[in-house]
Structure 1
Amino acid sequence: MSDNSSSKRSGFDRRAFMAGAGIALVPLTARAAVQDPTPAAAQDPALPVEVTLRVNGQDKRLRIDARTTVLDALREHIGLTGSKKGCDHGQCGACTVLVGDRRVVSCLTLALAAEGQEITTIEGLATGDHLHPMQQAFIDNDAFQCGYCTPGQIMSAVACVKEGHAGSDEDIREYMSGNICRCAAYPNIVAAVKQAASDIMKG
């Protein structure tokens, strides 16, 4: 027995139902074109893009690969080499800078993502010949040996204090744990943070 005969017996007309629902009226190929338009060709990320980074109070207009990190923009395009490239995987903290009031590992932060925000590097802490309290505290407490990690340690320490995490040795060690010192100057680093904390909070 045909489907049409069954439909007539039951009083249900499949053709009328499909037409009323508007399904059979649109060919499958047309529906696919409406639902899945061909996406626009993606721009080649290797093509240079214009970006303006505000670094230590100055605007720097750059033409860079869209995949350029803040660290590479600072070192290779702006000439600020204080931020160090250590692991290049965001694990050692040697490249730490401040973006806004937040510390970031600049080797994992795209320069494009930092556009429009204030970037502060180790070169931007001192005022003329007057060292920042944290820089002076690192000198006073001999809080470095080889010095490679020191710029990142100092930038992280400044943020640690401003975040309110310098109230105890335990807090300082915890909130500075993202910055590795392979020379193991950790006790001196803690002492430096404690010394600078009061001056920073007053300033």
Structure 2
Amino acid sequence: MPAFKFTLNGKAQRIETEADRPLLEVLREDLGLIGVRYGCGEGQCRACTVLLDGKPVPSCVTPVRLAEGKSVLTVEGLAVNGKLHPVQQAFLEEGALQCGYCTSGMMLTAVALLKTTPHPTEQQVAEGMNNNLCRCCCYPSIVTAVRLAAKLSALNTQGAGHAG
């Protein structure tokens, strides 16, 4: 069985498994990261989103072989030293969740969006988050939370700073 090496939430990993096995399955079943959620299994809802070298990907349709030599970030890797990432803090403050099932995928997509667009307009947030589905229809709160996260991120870079 082939072995795959990648960095997961800042730590080196090596896993022996089938090359075409979904990254979602490896993360949840082999590595115990339950923040990565199975939604549709077709890459359409994005509840399973992780960042692969900083880009949001649906882990349910991403074979583990594509993670080889790359960095994988899950929601479990966002907080640093017990301090919430600005996106996590903003989602909490804005109540940008209801059932919470889509939240980890939403947060990781927001992190990627804010990396490329640090001060997004409401329209840019709506477009950037467009592929992530929320069954509870918390979209207005999510947009508000992402814009708040941009402000919190800017404050963190002026002050002590925060990884992510």
TM-score by length of 2: 0.90
Q: 1:59: which partner in 2?
A: 12
For the residues of structure 2 that align with 1:58 and 1:161, how far apart are their CA atoms? 23
Residues 165/175 of structure 1: CA separation in 2 closer, same or farther (3 Å cut): farther
For the residues of structure 2 that align with 1:94 and 1:165, how far apart are their CA atoms? 23
Report if aligned partners of 2:118, 2:150 keep a CA contact under 8 Å in 1.
Answer: no
With a CA cutoff of 8 Å and minimum separation of 6, indicate the structure with the bigger relative contact order. Answer: 2
For the residues of structure 2 that align with 1:128 and 1:167, how far apart are their CA atoms? 27
Q: 1:195: which partner in 2?
A: 148
For the residues of structure 1 that align with 2:153 and 2:62, how far apart are their CA atoms? 26
1:126 and 2:79 matched: yes
For the residues of structure 2 that align with 1:100 and 1:53, how far apart are their CA atoms? 10
1:143 and 2:96 matched: yes
Q: 2:32: which partner in 1?
A: 79
Residues 61/117 of structure 1: CA separation in 2 closer, same or farther (3 Å cut): same
**Any idea what the Cα deviations from partners look like across 1:59-79, whole Å, max 9, x if unmatched?**
121111121121111011111
For the residues of structure 2 that align with 1:71 and 1:155, how far apart are their CA atoms? 14
Deviation, 1:180, is 0.3
Residues 74/151 of structure 1: CA separation in 2 closer, same or farther (3 Å cut): same
For the residues of structure 1 that align with 2:151 and 2:96, how far apart are their CA atoms? 18
**Any idea what the Cα deviations from partners look like across 1:147-200, whole Å, max 9, x if unmatched?**
000000000011111111752111111110110000000000011000011332
Q: Which 4+ residue blocks in structure 1 deviate beyond 4 angstroms?
A: none
- 2:21 is aligned, of 60, 68, 85, to 68
Q: 2:115: which partner in 1?
A: 162
Query: Unpaired runs of 5+ in structure 2?
Result: none
Report if aligned partners of 2:91, 2:97 keep a CA contact under 8 Å in 1.
Answer: yes
Deviation, 1:55, is 0.2
Query: Unpaired runs of 5+ in structure 1?
Result: 1-47
Larger radius of gyration: 1
Q: Percent identity?
A: 43
For the residues of structure 2 that align with 1:91 and 1:127, how far apart are their CA atoms? 30
TM-score by length of 1: 0.74
**Any idea what the Cα deviations from partners look like across 1:93-150, whole Å, max 9, x if unmatched?**
1011111121111111111111111111000000122111100100100000000000
Q: 1:113: which partner in 2?
A: 66
SS in 2 for 1:62: strand
SS in 2 for 1:193: helix
For the residues of structure 1 that align with 2:75 and 2:103, how far apart are their CA atoms? 9
Aligned residues: 156
